[in-house]
Amino acid sequence: MALTGMQIFKFLPKTNCKDCGVPTCLAFAMNLAANKAWLHQCPHLPPEVRAQLGAAAAPPIKKVEVGSGANSYSLGEETVLFRHEKTFNHQPLLAAKLCDNDKNLQQKFEKWQGLQWLRIGLTLRAEAVFLDNCSQSAEVFLKAAQQISPHFALILCASPQVLEQTLPKLAQFRPMLYAAEAHNYPKMAELALNYKCPLIIKANTLNDLTTLSHQLGLLGVQDLVLDCQAASMADVLANNTAIRRAALLAKNKDLGLPIINFACALSQDLPGQTMAASLMIAKYASIIVLSDFRDEYLFPLTLLRLNIFTDPQRPMTMQQGIYPIASPGPDAPVIITTNFSLTYFMVNGEIENARKPAWLLIMDTEGLSVLTAWAAGKFVGDTIAEFVQQSGIAEKIYHRRLIIPGYVANIKNELEESLPGWQILPGPREVSGLPGLLKSLP
């Protein structure tokens, strides 16, 4: 049974050190009880207390990790039914299905590696490959898996016999195993435990899925992912919603696990699969399997995923600091703006369009845009002056000219008083006018 905030508070150090990110231990305890914080955020809990509170404070959907190194990903840990209630935590992995004896394996693999896009400072790409042992050969399967594993997380679809032969050389990559069913789950459980790999459970109904999950739990397998077979998108939606509600509302631990969906099983063509995948992203899938990756379908899916899994209560931000653009020298102009990521990329893009080197100062305003930050008192004369003085920009230039956003031109005099010796130049109100201003400067 879940503990209340006051019950959790009794176990905390009560030092109000703020290391967890909130002002008091009581506030942290309340956040734990409401699934808005996790135990690992408190660095001062003794191991015995952490263990005692662990089960009570654990998220209703278990965290499962797949892959290794740069290709390591977390699934699960979700705490809400709807994004606006808090946020969705871990983006679903996009995987492509591939036969181990595919004649175009090398060509497909190289193409998939190149499908990457930079968006507001983040790299959008697919993360996983669902490798099917179509050849029924352990040797062919192993060769294909070793080729893919350094670049993608792996989901291995093979018989227990083939997995037993290949996992000794693949376990270091922490692949996910597909799949434990009613007829083979003891052997699949043994492989998952021996090689410390997450395991997918496959069943035709939610009742069968619950039974298998419970049985595997009794065998000691904890890192599980659910696959409830679906013949239509309506079935996928119904199953995924029922699983999420059972985990969050009914506290059903057997169903409190990440979900895998197969868009490739619902449509023969990629446009149809993309439509299915878009619903799966929004409705609780942790892994989505397509038949292929193509840029015109993969890019919108990664963009949709980014938007849905961005915390609606926290704007996307850039790190505070100095950003040199086009190798600026000591005579290059200095421009300042807030750390709202969209603002940064718009300003950055216009500076690049001007084809003139510049120093771009990004000031931490907690992700607020220029006008909002000014209205909140976070982007005003004294705070900007303090940041400029501490940033180190004065050591990189010989002039003392600072371009500020045109929307806050009214702080010019205040800023010049706070920055003696500096000339403050209000920029254009619209960022599209920035190239003209830069080209007019000496």
Are 359 and 393 a contacting pair, CB within 8 Å?
A: yes
> How far, in whole angstroms, is CA 189 from its chain's centroid?
29
**Gap between the Cα atoms of 296 and 269, Å rounded:** 13
Are 198 and 64 a contacting pair, CB within 8 Å?
A: yes
**Gap between the Cα atoms of 276 and 285, Å rounded:** 11
**Gap between the Cα atoms of 199 and 191, Å rounded:** 9
Go through 303-323 and write b for each residue having 16 or more CB atoms within 10 A of its CB, e for each that does not. Answer: eebbebebeeeebbbbeeeeb
**Gap between the Cα atoms of 305 and 126, Å rounded:** 11
Other C-beta atoms lying within 10 Å of the C-beta of residue 295: 12
Q: Give the strand pairing for 128-132 and 93-99.
A: parallel
Per-residue pLDDT of the chain (442 residues; tens, 9 = 90+): 457 788 888 889 999 999 988 899 999 988 887 767 778 788 898 888 887 777 666 778 999 999 999 999 999 999 899 988 878 989 999 999 999 999 999 899 889 999 999 876 688 999 999 999 999 999 999 999 999 999 999 999 999 999 999 999 999 999 999 999 999 999 999 999 999 999 999 999 999 999 999 999 999 999 999 999 999 999 999 999 999 999 999 989 999 999 999 999 999 999 999 999 999 999 999 999 999 999 999 999 999 999 899 877 677 788 899 999 999 999 999 999 999 988 998 999 999 989 999 999 999 998 899 999 999 999 999 999 999 999 999 999 999 999 999 999 999 999 999 999 999 999 999 999 999 999 888 7
Closest CA to 243 of 215, 280, 277, 216: 280
Length of the chain: 442
Longest dimension (CA), the chain: 80
**Gap between the Cα atoms of 296 and 439, Å rounded:** 37
pLDDT for residue 21: 85
If you search the block for the tokens 């940041």, which residue do you land on? 387
> Which residues, at least 6 apart from 9, have a Cβ–Cβ distance to it below 8 Å?
25, 26, 29
Are 189 and 216 a contacting pair, CB within 8 Å?
A: yes
Would you give the DSSP letter of residue 290? E
Closest CA to 335 of 397, 378, 377, 383: 397
- Indicate the burial class of 161 (C-beta count within 10 angstroms; 0-12, 13-18, 19 or more): exposed
Sign of the four-CA dihedral 56, 59, 61, 65: negative
Q: Is 134 helix (H, G, I), strand (E, B) or coil?
A: coil
Are 206 and 254 a contacting pair, CB within 8 Å?
A: no
pLDDT for residue 129: 97
Would you list the DSSP string of 193-220? HHHT--EEEEESSHHHHHHHHHHHHHTT
**Gap between the Cα atoms of 223 and 189, Å rounded:** 10
Helix, strand, coil: what percent of the chain each, to 5? 45, 20, 40
The 3-state secondary structure of 413-435 reads HHHHHHCCCCEEEECCCCHHHHH
Crossing angle between the packed helical segments 270-282 and 233-248, to the nearest 10 degrees: 20
Closest CA to 434 of 345, 368, 320: 345
**Strand ranges (E), 244-400:** 260-262, 287-290, 321-325, 334-338, 358-363
If you search the block for the tokens 């920009």, which residue do you land on? 393
**Gap between the Cα atoms of 321 and 76, Å rounded:** 34
